[in-house]
């Protein structure tokens, strides 16, 4: 934090503030990659996060293809989003109490298996709308345990001073795949079908599973001996009593509910615009 504060002051008061900021980024932005275990985890995350972006696109397309209903897309969006919001509370508390690597191994394996099942149902031509929504809901529950563990494993892979770098590099993964993978998914659907897309999604999580099996993680000190429910209650109380956290988290949920809500409806927009998967 001290280094960041110093760089921010330099950016504000230096006669050449932009160059000071560029120098800081060039010096510190990639330091986390010097840690071999974090580098392996970071590269592996490209496969699972990329698979997540493909999965969102493919699920919506398949449901709309089967139902031709915007309402069904709404049900899919609810199934894919709401369970994760609830289980994240428990997932965050659980990640403080158990081995995060093992938890991620389990979540990656389960997600890969569910996507492989969906790919088979789609390929066999027996998939139904309720199959897709049910699988999306179960994956959402798993995601609620996966994301907190994924974020909290950083201290076991890097030194404390490289935490800012690790968070920034992880953000790069999400932003890059969010732009690239949906376009890639559209081409896959146009050339082949959604079953191939789900097969690639399953392979992405399976690769992450293999990387986690060989990842060496430093033992983490258990943050607390409190029960999971006690931690959740304490966390909610802390947020309600701290205005800055309350505002930031409220903004995050507002963006999730009102700004990102267009994503599940993209297949319907494709029909309105009279374009196929490639379009």
Question: CB neighbours of 170 closer than 8 A, spacing ≥ 6?
Answer: 42, 45, 151, 154
- What is the structure's pLDDT at 106? 93
Q: Is residue 78 part of a domain?
A: yes
Assess if residue 17 is contained within a domain: no
**pLDDT value of residue 168:** 84
Q: What is the pLDDT of residues 191-241, one digit of tens each?
A: 888 999 999 999 999 999 999 998 888 766 555 566 666 777 777 787 788
Q: Evaluate whether residue 162 is within a structural domain.
A: yes
Q: What is the CA radius of gyration of the chain?
A: 21
134 falls within a domain: yes
Residue 128 domain-assigned? Answer: yes
pLDDT in tens, 48-76: 999 998 898 889 889 988 998 888 888 89
The answer to whether residue 181 sits within a structural domain is yes
CATH number of the domain at 114, please.
Answer: 1.20.1250.20
**What's the full length of the chain, in residues?**
279
Residue 129: domain span: 33-272
Lowest mean pLDDT among 127-136, 179-188, 268-277: 268-277
Provide the number of structural domains found in the chain: 1
Task: With respect to residue 10, please indicate whether it lies within any of the assigned structural domains.
Answer: no
Residue 239: phi, psi to the nearest 5?
A: -65, -45
In a domain, 125, yes or no: yes
């Amino acid at each position: 934090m001290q280094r960041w504060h110093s760089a921010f002051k330099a950016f504000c008061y230096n006669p050449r503030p932009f160059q000071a900021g560029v120098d800081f980024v060039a010096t510190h932005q990639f330091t986390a990659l010097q840690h071999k275990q974090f580098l392996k985890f970071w590269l592996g995350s490209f496969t699972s996060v990329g698979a997540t972006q493909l999965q969102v696109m493919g699920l919506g397309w398949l449901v709309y293809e089967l139902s031709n209903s915007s309402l069904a897309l709404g049900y899919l969006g609810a199934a894919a989003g709401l369970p994760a919001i609830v289980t994240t509370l428990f997932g965050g508390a659980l990640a403080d109490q158990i081995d995060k690597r093992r938890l991620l191994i389990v979540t990656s394996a389960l997600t890969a298996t569910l996507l492989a099942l969906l790919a088979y149902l789609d390929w066999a031509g027996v998939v139904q709308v309720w199959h897709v929504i049910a699988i999306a809901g179960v994956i959402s529950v798993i995601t609620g345990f996966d994301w907190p563990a994924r974020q909290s494993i950083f201290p076991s892979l890097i030194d404390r001073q490289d935490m800012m770098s690790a968070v920034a590099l992880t953000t790069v993964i999400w932003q890059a795949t969010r732009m690239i993978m949906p376009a890639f998914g559209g081409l896959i659907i146009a050339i082949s079908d959604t079953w191939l897309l789900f097969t690639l999604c399953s392979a992405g999580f399976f690769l992450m599973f293999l990387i986690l099996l060989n990842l060496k993680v430093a033992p983490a000190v258990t943050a607390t001996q409190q029960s999971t429910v006690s931690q959740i209650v304490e966390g909610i109380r802390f947020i309600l009593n701290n205005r800055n956290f309350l505002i930031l988290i409220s903004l995050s949920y507002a963006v999730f509910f009102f700004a990102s809500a267009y994503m599940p409806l993209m297949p319907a927009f494709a029909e309105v615009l009279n374009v196929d998967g490639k379009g």
